[in-house]
Amino acid sequence: MYAAQAYNLRARCGRGDCERSTSCFAQSDPASEPAVLAVAKVLPAVVNINTERVVRRTVRDPFEDFYAQFFGYNRVRPRQIRQTLQSLGSGFIIDPAGYIVTNQHVVERAADLKIHVTTDDGKTYNAHYISGDDKTDLAFIKIDAKEPFPFINLDNISPNLLGETVIVVGNAVGYGSSISRGVLSAVKRSITVDDIEYKDLVQTDAAINPGNSGGPVIDISGRLVGISSAKMAFTPQGVPTQGLGFAIPAEVVRDSVARFKKIAQKQGAGTKEAVASNTSTSNSERLFGMQLQDLSHELSDALGYAQGGVVITAVEPGSPADEAGVERGLVIYRVGKTDVNSVTQLEKLLGSVQSGTSVNFTTGAIRANRQSQQVATLAMTAR
């Protein structure tokens, strides 16, 4: 009986009766497929991220190395060159104001990092880095524009059930609006990348390619499953693998975004206070090319830093701070021999500094509970 019913259905579709049959239409129209509808729902919020980062390289003349081997010294100092490195990745908008979440390794903090974001409609915007977390490999950036943007809602995320259909959306190998499809094959996976262990990841057999990093993984309802993070081409023993991709779970993304938004609010409040108290360029910015902000209790908790010092929020390319290797997100703990705990205090210390004067800044990052610290003293010459 069932075989006869199936035959009759095929026969009706073959005679063109699909126009009058809802069941035939549902089976034959690709536009009604749940996966197609899910992709159409989220694609306007997915962005391609292109970053440019200037790094310094030391270049030595091979002849000079040969000369030093026999005569014990170099006649000239090694030459430094500036090289521009580019990287591609993905991200997605989580707020109509243009806030974007992506991978930290896509938009690593750098003194002169330029971030360009391209939306699905082909428009390109500049964006700036707000905050990030190496442990979760998540970062928060914002488009520098005032228009409202489509976004993916983090209030309704996928239940992440084994076997559910998942779709990877992003900038695969530089091609925007690319997708791949598979299933959620495991949860709570741990992997180690560059000696950093990432825990509680979700695993999928959907293809994750270079450029997908930071893009969303969704279910067929368009809800967030996670953020594409890494693929495993070989096991630690060197055995090749297939279908092993990993994503940061949506729950971790949602919690991190809530923390990042608090940092963004603090940064905005700090900027307004600075403008209200001093409409002229600060000494730190005028002399050394650094923009600073008080490291409040809330901000230090959000960043995981110990109390004390002022945080560097921006570094001007080509400035004395840039040339000294200072990076945004680091903390200044001491100027000369004086500990500093506020921007006002630091600005007073710099009030008498003249152009050409060399000043020692103790900078770095001391983690909460003093679990780790990386601090160095850098000499900068005021311009």
Q: Is 116 among the catalytic positions?
A: no
If asked whether residues 128 and 92 sit together in one domain, one would say yes
* pLDDT of amino acid 4: 47
If asked whether residues 58 and 27 sit together in one domain, one would say no
Asked which of 147-156, 212-221, 315-324 is least confident by mean pLDDT, the reply is 315-324
Strands 46-59 and 138-143: unpaired
Would you state the structure tokens that stand for residue 292, as one six-digit string?
């600073």
Asked which of 48-52, 219-223, 337-341, 348-352 is least confident by mean pLDDT, the reply is 48-52
Q: Beta partners for 56?
A: 82
Residue at 37 is within a domain: no
If asked whether residues 22 and 72 sit together in one domain, one would say no
Q: Determine which one of 90, 180, 213, 284 is catalytic.
A: 213
Higher pLDDT, 104 or 21: 104
Q: How many residues does the chain have?
A: 383
* pLDDT of amino acid 50: 84
Looking at 143, 177, 198, which one is the last position of a domain? 143
pLDDT above 90 (res 40): yes
* pLDDT of amino acid 195: 65
Q: Is 229 among the catalytic positions?
A: no
Residue at 268 is within a domain: no
CATH code of residue 327: 2.30.42.10
If asked whether residues 27 and 63 sit together in one domain, one would say no
Q: What is the mean pLDDT of the chain?
A: 79
If asked whether residues 135 and 172 sit together in one domain, one would say no
Distances in whole angstroms, Cα of residue 82 to Cα of each of 53, 57, 112: 10, 6, 11
Residue at 260 is within a domain: no
Give residue 360's domain range.
278-381
Residue at 153 is within a domain: no
Looking at 202, 221, 254, which one is the last position of a domain? 254
* pLDDT of amino acid 275: 37
If asked whether residues 193 and 133 sit together in one domain, one would say no
If asked whether residues 189 and 249 sit together in one domain, one would say yes
Residue at 262 is within a domain: no
Higher pLDDT, 311 or 276: 311
Q: Which residues of 100-115 are buried (b: 16+ CB within 10 A; e: fewer)?
A: bbbbbbbbbbbbbbbb
If asked whether residues 283 and 377 sit together in one domain, one would say yes
If asked whether residues 225 and 178 sit together in one domain, one would say yes
* pLDDT of amino acid 172: 83
Asked which of 126-130, 234-238, 284-288 is least confident by mean pLDDT, the reply is 234-238
Q: Is 128 among the catalytic positions?
A: no
How many CB atoms sit inside 10 A of residue 306's CB? 18
pLDDT above 50 (res 2): no
If asked whether residues 250 and 210 sit together in one domain, one would say yes
CATH code of residue 124: 2.40.10.10
pLDDT above 70 (res 381): yes
Higher pLDDT, 241 or 65: 241
Evaluate the CA torsion angle 304, 309, 314, 317 in order and state its sign.
Answer: negative
Q: Determine which one of 137, 219, 294, 322 is catalytic.
A: 137
Model confidence at 42, pLDDT cuts 50, 70, 90, reads very high
Q: Determine which one of 105, 219, 256, 319 is catalytic.
A: 105
Question: CA–CA separation, 33 vs 29, rounded Å?
Answer: 7
Residue at 184 is within a domain: yes
Looking at 222, 254, 286, which one is the last position of a domain? 254
User: Which of 60, 69, 144 shows the shortest CA–CA distance to 100?
Assistant: 144
* pLDDT of amino acid 9: 42
Question: CA–CA separation, 327 vs 329, rounded Å?
Answer: 6
Model confidence at 109, pLDDT cuts 50, 70, 90, reads low
Q: What is the pLDDT of residues 4-25, one digit of tens each?
A: 444 444 444 444 454 444 455 4
If asked whether residues 84 and 130 sit together in one domain, one would say yes
Model confidence at 71, pLDDT cuts 50, 70, 90, reads very low
* pLDDT of amino acid 358: 93
Look at the chain and report how many structural domains it folds into: 4
Give the count of alpha carbons within 13 A of 98, CB side only: 18
Residue at 14 is within a domain: yes
Q: What is the pLDDT of residues 110-158, one digit of tens each?
A: 445 688 899 988 899 999 888 888 888 899 999 988 889 999 999 999 9
Higher pLDDT, 296 or 111: 296
If asked whether residues 129 and 204 sit together in one domain, one would say no
pLDDT above 70 (res 244): yes
Question: Model's pTM, two decimal places?
Answer: 0.58
